């Protein structure tokens, strides 16, 4: 099962001919992902890696190939337009990797997405991986920039705002012999398409997911909102980690959304609420997987 | 990015948000000329630094106060000469203080009533929110704590923008009537346009005042801009005053490094913002104090690592360095070579612990071990944090 994507998901890449997009499109192909189309305006008719057809518009790409998910790698000034184009073409899952999109642009995009059939993950995120069952998880669906080979197919769902911290958790799990159902990087921006709560709800409904790691950071209240819901509704064990305990207030810690604005969005406050809601909180980022195992009774 | 008071006034003037008359001056002569231009009005001279608490601050030359009433062009020149190119220390600058390069000569207005008015980008609603209060001139956090009923909030639809009825609602909640209400409505409409057009993340007027002669004026303002949107605002970027920023952060930004200086003695160099924060946290967890936040991004090239080393080693407080790289896609061996090249270029006067993980990690560790440099290798984040805390002692 897994959530949002599986081995059969047909993926297109917007911005497939840029260096960043091309590199990661190639890695997804090597991972065994069904990458069926690329989109770069003005390069329609060409082929990526001699196999993947490139289209001028997302509308054409979807019509010709039946792609249902898109990975967006276009530069920040054009990213909002790219998301809206994917929505217009009816793409079900839009994953925006781009970092540095103006908040005003995302505010309008978020509003426009309401009532559409598209779900946005990101922006400023590492994307999603549903690991495959082959060697080093080959054959899975990789949308974005995560290293595929560190994964292993299994029963832990991972959701996080940070890329490298997600890899850290996945790596710990795989080392301990526990695989993942799906790993979702929701991104580090203040306005994003999919929240911790959205992903927790999906993991809760997914029969393959038996336990969850939720990784958050300072700023906003997304982790708190998810934890409060989980307290009464989530049937599965959850371990959590919140980064930024040592971050000075009022400073933007790399991620546009990682800024302490008040008393309730500090790491300490979030950890306290997570614990009160029954989530096992990892003391350090080295203990994310082991904390889950304790809670899970493994 | 922060801007000076006089620059905020420039933006207010451009968007027709009324504020007291004022002019910036870089020399005593310019200050005198400005004071002459506004002759007849009660005037004030204000040192231009980003830090707050100017009025109660003092200059290192002994002159008291960064804000003074003045009653003649001669006095404007005299005070300006005691402020310009002198160092002002306030509660917000720390002991080092800030060098004042410019002063503003402004109209000192009489106040009938003080209000609070702000527009913020609200994460929870993903929309601009207008916050208004009749309790102006004090910290809005205090008002929220003591008299929350005095704060009024209006969320604005992201696609529709500010509507006339929303302005009427806020005007009514503030109890404004007659001509004052009309002036306020126009001010708010223009302020919202400024907020949107300049990609602000926050725009706070505290206080917004009414005057005995029947005007509504933005007396003091605080701007926050969305860094992501600066590419489309060259005019705002031109307002950046690098002298007001931490020189280490200015140097880092030139190499696309995300650096924030802190007070501890263990520097860290990490790829990824979340992992960088978590690395600071784990240093603290094992009893150390992080000296900085530093995200080198996904790449961690030799040039970036070298630049990062130079910035880190330029901080006299730093007694040790922890490098934590999860090389998911990047080859750890390439990263190891970059670290060695950087260490050789800058020298390695203090302990360095490197924790590498990911792609081709064994080769990377072997390269570090055979470098001949005094580099301690760590297996996990916890291992790395413990080793650097121990090395620093």
Tens digits of residue pLDDT in B324-349: 998 877 888 888 888 898 888 888 89
Domain covering A152-296: architecture: 3-Layer(aba) Sandwich (3.40)
Query: Is residue B162 helix, strand or coil?
Result: coil
Q: Spell A4-39 as b/e; 16+ CB within 10 A means b.
A: bbbbebbbbbbbbbbeebbebbebbbebbbbbbbbb
| Closest alpha carbon within chain B to A268 | B281
Residue-wise pLDDT tens digits, B73-131: 999 999 999 999 999 998 888 788 899 999 999 999 999 999 999 999 998 899 999 99
**DSSP state at residue A149:** G
Structure tokens at A6: 């599986």
User: Chain B contacts of A267, Cβ < 8 Å?
Assistant: 281
CA distance B314 to B249: 12
User: Chain B contacts of A243, Cβ < 8 Å?
Assistant: 274-275, 277-278, 281
pLDDT band (50, 70, 90) for residue B243: confident
Most B CBs within 10 Å: which of A174, A246, A256, as the mutation test of the B interface?
A246
- Cα-Cα-Cα-Cα dihedral sign, residues A228, A247, A147, A175: negative
Q: Report, as residue numbers or ranges, the catalytic residues of A.
A: 255
Are A190 and A103 in contact, with CB atoms under 8 Å apart? yes
The rounded mean pLDDT for chain A is: 95
Total H helices, total E strands in chain B:
13, 19
User: Chain B contacts of A105, Cβ < 8 Å?
Assistant: 229
Q: Among partner residues B227, B274, B282, which is closest to A163 by beta-carbon distance?
A: B274
Residue-wise pLDDT tens digits, A86-107: 999 999 999 999 999 999 999 9
CA distance A92 to A58: 12
Query: Which residue's entry shows tokens 């007849």?
Result: B40
Q: What is the mean pLDDT of residues B5-26?
A: 96
- Give the gap in angstroms from C-alpha B280 to the nearest C-alpha of chain A: 6
Q: Comparing C-alpha atoms, which of A201, A204, A166 is closest to residue A185?
A: A166
> Is A248 in Cβ contact with B276 (below 8 Å)?
no
Query: Which residue's entry shows tokens 């850290």?
Result: A168
Q: What is the mean pLDDT of residues A39-44?
A: 97
**Chain B window 137-176: which residues touch A at a Cβ cutoff of 8 Å?**
157-159
Q: What are phi and psi of A66, to 5 degrees?
A: 75, 25
pLDDT band (50, 70, 90) for residue B163: very high
- Provide the pLDDT for residue B300: 67
CA distance A70 to B26: 54
Query: Is residue B131 helix, strand or coil?
Result: strand
Query: Which residue's entry shows tokens 């209060």?
Result: B133
Q: Comparing C-alpha atoms, which of B77, B78, B82, B43 is closest to residue B65?
A: B82
- Give the gap in angstroms from C-alpha A93 to the nearest C-alpha of chain B: 20
According to CATH, the superfamily of the domain at A10-121 is NAD(P)-binding Rossmann-like Domain (3.40.50.720)
User: Chain A contacts of B124, Cβ < 8 Å?
Assistant: 220-221
A161 in contact with chain B, both atoms CB, cutoff 8 A: yes
Query: Is residue A218 helix, strand or coil?
Result: coil
The rounded mean pLDDT for chain B is: 92
Q: Among partner residues A147, A219, A251, which is closest to B358 by beta-carbon distance?
A: A147
For A43-57, B134-148, B368-382, which range has the lowest pLDDT when averaged over its residues? B134-148
User: Chain B contacts of A146, Cβ < 8 Å?
Assistant: 328
- What would the 3-class secondary structure string for B365-383 be? HHHHHCCCCCEEEECCHHH
Are B27 and B80 in contact, with CB atoms under 8 Å apart? yes
Q: What is the mean pLDDT of residues A269-288?
A: 96
**Chain A window 13-52: which residues touch B at a Cβ cutoff of 8 Å?**
27
- Provide the pLDDT for residue B327: 82
- Provide the pLDDT for residue B1: 80
Question: Percentage of chain A surpassing pLDDT 90?
Answer: 91
Residue-wise pLDDT tens digits, A122-166: 999 999 999 999 999 999 999 999 999 999 999 999 999 998 999
Question: Percentage of chain A surpassing pLDDT 70?
Answer: 99
B202 in contact with chain A, both atoms CB, cutoff 8 A: no
CA angle, residues A220, A222, A227, in degrees to nearest 5: 130
Q: What is the dihedral of CA A125, A41, A21, B201, to 10 degrees?
A: -30
Q: Could you tell me the residue ranges of all domains in chain A?
A: 10-121, 152-296
A144 in contact with chain B, both atoms CB, cutoff 8 A: no
Structure tokens at A242: 């919140």
Half-sphere exposure of B186 (CA within 13 A, CB side): 13
Same CATH fold assignment for domains A10-121 and A152-296? yes
> Is B121 in Cβ contact with A107 (below 8 Å)?
yes
- Provide the pLDDT for residue B196: 98
ipTM of the complex: 0.91
Q: Comparing C-alpha atoms, which of B83, B89, B7 is closest to residue B52?
A: B89
Query: Is residue B299 predicted with pLDDT exceeding 70?
Result: no
Are A258 and A251 in contact, with CB atoms under 8 Å apart? no
A165 in contact with chain B, both atoms CB, cutoff 8 A: yes
CA distance A10 to A49: 17
> Is B274 in Cβ contact with A150 (below 8 Å)?
no
B116 catalytic, yes or no? yes
- Provide the pLDDT for residue B296: 87
- Give the gap in angstroms from C-alpha B80 to the nearest C-alpha of chain A: 32
Residues 6+ apart with CB under 8 A from B235: none
A50-53's contacts with Cβ under 8 Å and 24+ in sequence apart are A52/A16, A52/A25
Query: Which residue among the candidates B6, B115, B116, B259 is catalytic per the annotation?
Result: B116
Query: Which residue among the candidates B166, B204, B337, B357 is catalytic per the annotation?
Result: B204
- Give the gap in angstroms from C-alpha B331 to the nearest C-alpha of chain A: 11
State the CB neighbour count (10 A cutoff) for residue B303: 14
């Amino acid at each position: 099962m897994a959530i949002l994507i599986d081995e059969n998901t047909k993926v297109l890449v917007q911005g497939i001919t840029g260096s960043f997009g091309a590199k990661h499109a190639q890695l997804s192909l090597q991972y065994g992902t069904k990458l069926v189309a690329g989109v770069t305006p003005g390069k329609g008719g060409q082929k990526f890696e001699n196999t993947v057809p490139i289209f001028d518009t997302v509308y054409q790409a979807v019509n010709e190939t039946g792609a249902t998910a898109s990975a967006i790698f276009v530069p920040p000034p054009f990213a909002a337009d790219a998301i809206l184009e994917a929505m217009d073409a009816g793409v079900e899952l839009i994953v925006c990797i781009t970092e540095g999109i103006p908040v005003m642009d995302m505010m309008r995009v978020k509003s426009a997405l309401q009532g559409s059939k598209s779900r946005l993950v990101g922006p400023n995120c590492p994307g999603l991986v549903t690991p495959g069952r082959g060697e080093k998880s080959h054959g899975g669906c990789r949308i974005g920039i995560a290293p595929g080979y560190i994964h292993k197919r299994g029963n832990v769902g991972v959701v996080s705002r940070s890329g490298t911290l997600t890899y850290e958790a996945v790596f710990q799990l795989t080392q301990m012999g526990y695989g993942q159902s799906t790993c979702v990087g929701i991104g580090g921006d203040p306005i994003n398409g999919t929240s911790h709560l959205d992903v927790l709800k999906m993991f809760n409904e997914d029969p393959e997911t038996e336990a969850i790691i939720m990784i958050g950071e300072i700023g906003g209240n997304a982790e708190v909102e998810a934890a409060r819901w989980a307290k009464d509704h989530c049937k599965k064990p959850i371990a959590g980690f919140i980064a930024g305990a040592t971050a000075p207030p009022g400073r933007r810690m790399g991620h546009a959304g990682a800024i302490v604005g008040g008393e309730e969005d500090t790491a300490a406050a979030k950890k306290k609420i997570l614990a009160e809601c029954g989530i096992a909180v990892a003391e350090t980022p080295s203990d994310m997987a082991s904390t889950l195992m304790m809670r899970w009774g493994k | 990015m922060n801007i000076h008071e006089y620059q905020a006034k420039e933006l207010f003037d451009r968007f027709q948000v009324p504020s007291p008359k004022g002019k910036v001056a870089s020399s005593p002569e310019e200050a005198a000329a400005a004071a002459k231009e506004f002759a007849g009005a009660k005037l004030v001279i204000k040192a231009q630094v980003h830090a707050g608490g100017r009025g109660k601050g003092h200059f290192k030359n002994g002159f008291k106060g960064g804000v003074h009433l003045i009653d003649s062009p001669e006095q404007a020149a005299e005070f300006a000469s005691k402020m310009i190119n002198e160092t002002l220390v306030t509660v917000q600058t720390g002991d080092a203080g800030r060098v004042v390069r410019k002063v503003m000569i402004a109209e000192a207005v009489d106040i009938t009533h003080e209000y609070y008015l702000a527009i913020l980008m609200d994460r929870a609603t993903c929309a601009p929110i207008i916050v208004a209060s009749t309790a102006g001139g004090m910290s809005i956090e205090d008002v929220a704590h003591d008299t929350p009923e005095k704060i009024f909030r209006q969320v604005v639809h992201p696609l529709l923008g500010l509507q006339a009825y929303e302005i009427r609602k806020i005007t009514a909640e503030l109890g404004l009537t007659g001509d004052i209400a009309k002036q306020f409505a126009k001010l708010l409409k223009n302020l919202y346009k400024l907020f949107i057009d300049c990609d602000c993340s926050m725009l706070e007027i505290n206080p917004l005042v009414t005057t005995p002669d029947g005007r509504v004026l933005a007396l003091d303002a605080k701007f926050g801009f969305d860094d992501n949107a600066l590419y489309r605002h060259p005019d705002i970027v031109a307002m950046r005053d690098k002298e007001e920023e931490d020189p280490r952060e200015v140097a880092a930004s030139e190499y696309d490094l995300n650096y924030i200086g802190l007070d501890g003695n263990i520097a860290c160099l990490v790829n990824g913002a979340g992992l960088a924060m978590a690395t600071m946290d784990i240093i603290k967890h094992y009893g150390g104090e992080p000296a900085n936040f530093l995200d080198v991004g996904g790449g961690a090239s030799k040039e970036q690592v070298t630049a990062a080393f130079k910035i880190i080693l330029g901080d006299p407080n730093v007694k040790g360095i922890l490098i934590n790289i999860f090389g998911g896609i990047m080859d750890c061996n390439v990263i190891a070579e970059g670290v060695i090249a950087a260490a050789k270029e800058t020298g390695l006067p203090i302990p360095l612990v490197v924790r590498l993980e990911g792609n081709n990690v064994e080769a990377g560790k072997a390269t570090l071990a055979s470098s001949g440099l005094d580099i301690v290798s760590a297996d996990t984040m916890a291992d790395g944090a413990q080793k650097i805390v121990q090395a620093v002692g």
